[in-house]
Every structure is written in structure tokens, then in C-alpha cells.
Chains A and B, each alone.
Chain A
Amino acid sequence: AQSVSQHNHHVILSEAASLELGCNYSYGGTVNLFWYVQYPGQHLQLLLKYFSGDPLVKGIKGFEAEFIKSKFSFNLRKPSVQWSDTAEYFCAVILNPTGGGNKLTFGTGTQLKVEL
């Protein structure tokens, strides 16, 4: 079955450390890729997305992600994290987007804690 894997369930970093969260999906066709973030007590928010074109996409708050088709990966990166980046991060994929009621398949999420 098609799935989305986030291998890092809990990550603890110090401020200014670099971040990379892994996301892999298992599907050989066309995909739309997303990273969502949920800050404590807040809505799930869109961080960035990739549909086509440049495989390196930039999102809000200094985050970026790179789509590597050959590796079925869409890893999230930030060069220098801040305490305010403490949140849960979800990778999500639309498999074979049809332009209708597309189903988002989510990974299990990664809890990031940034320590001062």
C-alpha cells in the first residue's frame, strides 16, 4: 500500500543547529508534496509545497525542502533553528492528483523540540 514515512519521531536540537527531517513516500507516479506544521495550541499550517518545477522549494520561516524523485524523498531543512520552531511537523502527499477530491496521505509526524 502507498504510504508516507517519517523516520524521525522525536528530534531535540539546540538553537542555531541545522535541521533535516526525512520524508519518504512509496508511489511511482505523479505526486504533490507538502510539509505542514502544528505549533503548540495552534492550527495545522502549511509550511511549503511542491507540485512541479524547481525541486528545491522555499517555505515560510526559513524552511526549505528538496524533492528527489529518484529517492522518493521530500526532506525538510532549515539551516539554523530557533526556539520558536518547536512544533510537530507532518509530511503529506497527494498521490496521482486528479483535480478533484484529492486525498492527502500523512506521515506520522515528527516532534521537534528546540532547546535554548
Chain B
Amino acid sequence: SQTIHQWPATLVQPVGSPLSLECTVEGTSNPNLYWYRQAAGRGLQLLFYSVGIGQISSEVPQNLSASRPQDRQFILSSKKLLLSDSGFYLCAWSGRAGETQYFGPGTRLLVL
């Protein structure tokens, strides 16, 4: 069966510091991968998605970037964190048809 991992689970970072969040998927090949952010009191917002290695689509302009160095690895990064980057970050995967997305456990980021 497929599993999706995210780490770290929780992260506290100072403003201006870099960020790297990792997501990996097991048990499937050529998945579509997604990064979402959930801010307090708001729904999930799609940040990036990827349909293959090196292929990244950005949904909203922001202080973050994403990369997909391997088929089942998806990384969310920032060079300098802002206070507004605090939130709960969720990675998801779907099959190539992209119909149903399955979510990881999430990373809670607090920028101070």
C-alpha cells in the first residue's frame, strides 16, 4: 500500500532563516505531488504541484519554492522565512489521473 511521509513534524524557525520541508511517497510510481498550506481558521490552499521530476507549477506568488529531485520526493523551501509563512503544511499525492489526493501527516511551522 502507499504511504506518504513528511518531516519534520514540527518546526520553529526565526524570521529570515531558510526552510526545507521534505515529503516522500512509498508504494507508487510517477505520482502527482502537491504542497498545501492550512492557515488558522482557513481552508487548505494549494501552493505547488508536480506531475514529474523537475516539473513544478506554482499556484500563488509567495516566498516559497518547490522542487522535485526524485520521482517520489517533493521539497518545499524558502531562502528567508517571513512571519506570514507560519502554518500547517501538507503534502499530498495522487495517481497520474489526478483524481483523488491522499495527504501526509503535515508539518507545523512556526516562524518567530
A interface list, Cβ under 8 A from B: 4, 6, 32, 34, 36, 43-46, 49, 51, 90, 92, 94, 97-109
B96 CB, min distance to chain A CBs, angstroms: 8
A102/B99 in contact, CB under 8 A: yes
14 extra interface residue pairs, beta carbon distance < 8 Å, beyond A32-B99, A44-B103: A4-B43, A34-B100, A36-B103, A43-B103, A46-B102, A51-B99, A92-B44, A94-B99, A100-B51, A100-B98, A101-B49, A101-B50, A101-B98, A108-B42
- Given the complex of chains A and B, what is the CA–CA distance between A103 and B59 in angstroms? 9
Chain A contacts for B49, CB-based, 8 A: 101, 103
Chain B contacts for A49, CB-based, 8 A: 100
B44/A106 in contact, CB under 8 A: yes
Q: A101 touches which one: B36, B45, B57, B106 (CB < 8 A)?
A: B57
B interface list, Cβ under 8 A from A: 32, 34, 36, 41-46, 49-51, 57, 59, 90, 92, 94, 96-106
Q: A97 touches which one: B34, B42, B99 (CB < 8 A)?
A: B99
Chain A contacts for B34, CB-based, 8 A: 101, 104
Q: Which residue of B lies closest to A104 (CB)?
A: B101
- Given the complex of chains A and B, what is the CA–CA distance between A77 and B99 in angstroms? 23
A104/B104 in contact, CB under 8 A: no
Question: A36, A51, A100, A104: which has the most chain B beta carbons within 10 Å?
Answer: A104
B31 CB, min distance to chain A CBs, angstroms: 11
Chain A contacts for B103, CB-based, 8 A: 36, 43-45
Chain B contacts for A98, CB-based, 8 A: 98
- Given the complex of chains A and B, what is the CA–CA distance between A51 and B90 in angstroms? 24
- Given the complex of chains A and B, what is the CA–CA distance between A94 and B56 in angstroms? 19
B38 CB, min distance to chain A CBs, angstroms: 8
Q: Which residue of A lies closest to B32 (CB)?
A: A101
Q: Which residue of A lies closest to B98 (CB)?
A: A102
Chain A contacts for B46, CB-based, 8 A: 103-105
A99/B43 in contact, CB under 8 A: no
